[in-house]
Structure 1
Amino acid sequence: MDEGEWVRRIQEGETRYLTPLIERYYAGIQKYCYYRLRSEEESKDLTQETFYRFCRHIARYSNSGKCRAYLYTIARNLCNDHLRKRVQFPSMEFDEAVTWEAVWQGLSIEEQVEKGQLVDELLHLLPEEQREPVFMRFCLDLTFRDIARITGVNVCMVQYRVKRGLNSLRSHLERSDYVEQASAVHHRNPAELPLVPR
């Protein structure tokens, strides 16, 4: 049974079909919310709120193969609202930010890679208009068309922003490699330096 049939049956009152729909998209929605909020607890809350709102308005939802995009749109709007409230009350988030930094400092490089920290740090080098579509495309595996639906930007602009973001990341990595190589040569002992023909 496909997703459209699940939605139709849910709309007819067969709520048991909510389970496979939620199971299909829950992890991705929570990953997106966590990316936006940087809080495990808040990301869980907003993920649940996303599905609650979807269910509450299911009667008005007209399924046209866009359920995933619709759920991400709800999640995105909830995250935006939540972040606006954070800006109004910034002092509440200070301890959490400090804790977040402390957690990452205690991890080995392997654990950071495993948990996506290095990817996360790279993404934060980008402006938000590039960061979000790059994250959605490569970390959530959304199509350009879905990203366009979720963000309200046309497909060509999404593709352009993703391409610009990837080019920026590539340039940064190339610069980092160059700096590391130059630094390694500079810090060698004289005995380790290669012999230069005279």
Structure 2
Amino acid sequence: MMDSQQETELIRRIIANDKQLFSVLVDKYKYNVYGIFRGMGASHQDAQDLAQETFIRVYKYLPRHQEGNRFSAWVYTIAVNVMKDHVRKRRPIPAEMDGHAQESDPAATPEQHIIRKEMQRDIYRYLNLLPDTYRLVLLLKYTNELSYEEIMEITGLSSIQVRNALHRGKKRLKKEMEKKGGLAHETFFQ
């Protein structure tokens, strides 16, 4: 696992013309970026294309990243902007999550992997029923573990709007899951 100081040094080296190291950044963020797109309703193919576009922009604008700011928040800001551009061009058809690859716990049993995948699939299916703002804020907070400040920066929402969107989004998600007969996954709502 790379800490922020190592990441900063890696970025410096990439900017200083060690371009092949960019793949390390792509590997670190590709699943989270892909997950944002899938969570926002992009199909598998669109999510892959949008993730690729995101990393092209990250590479292009890497020298503009301000050292000291969290790099992950900057990457997710670019991803959100790519998604906004995509939506402007054409409204994506909501797609069910197909259990996209994510780093998993190697100590987990096969049964735990299956349960985790089913739980993820359920949550993403119900997320698609929420308004875009709620869905995006929930994804940024709970799948990408961003702070309120980072979510504010990415979405352009105020602190109160972020807190309200999180609260209302979780409440509505839980209601939708209970209404449709799904289990309200307690770990998500804590």
Give me the CA root mean square deviation. Answer: 2.8
CA distance in 2, matches of 1:118, 1:2: 36
Please, what TM-score do these two structures have when normalized by structure 2? Answer: 0.71
Tell me what 1:72 maps to.
76
Confirm or deny that 1:8 pairs with 2:9: no
Contact 1:147 1:158 (8 Å CA) reproduced: yes
Match of 2:130 among 93, 104, 126: 126
- Unaligned runs of at least 5 residues, structure 2: 99-113, 182-190
CA distance in 1, matches of 2:64, 2:133: 30
CA distance in 2, matches of 1:175, 1:51: 38
Kindly provide the amino acid, as one letter, of the partner of residue 170 in structure 1.
K
Aligned pairs (5 A) from 1:34-183? 34-87=38-91, 114=118, 116-173=120-177
Looking at CA atoms only, which structure, 1 or 2, has the larger radius of gyration? 1
- The count of corresponding residues between Structure 1 and Structure 2 is 161
CA distance in 1, matches of 2:21, 2:165: 37
Contact 1:30 1:47 (8 Å CA) reproduced: yes
CA distance in 2, matches of 1:118, 1:37: 14
Contact 1:113 1:119 (8 Å CA) reproduced: no
Q: How far 1:28 moved relative to its partner?
A: 0.4
Please, what TM-score do these two structures have when normalized by structure 1? Answer: 0.68
Q: Alignment partner of 2:74: what SS?
A: helix
Q: 1:152 to 1:36 in 2, by over 3 A?
A: same
Q: How far 1:43 moved relative to its partner?
A: 1.0
Aligned pairs (5 A) from 1:15-30? 15-30=19-34
Q: 1:168 to 1:34 in 2, by over 3 A?
A: closer
CA distance in 2, matches of 1:33, 1:171: 23
CA distance in 1, matches of 2:162, 2:147: 10
Q: 1:161 to 1:22 in 2, by over 3 A?
A: same
Kindly provide the amino acid, as one letter, of the partner of residue 80 in structure 1.
K
Kindly provide the amino acid, as one letter, of the partner of residue 19 in structure 2.
T
CA distance in 1, matches of 2:140, 2:64: 26
Higher helix share: 1
Asked which structure has the greater RCO (Cα within 8 Å, sep 6+), the reply is 2
CA distance in 2, matches of 1:157, 1:148: 9
Q: Percent identity?
A: 27
* Cα distance per residue 1:147-183 (max 9 Å; x no partner): 1121111233212210122222334455567xxxxxx
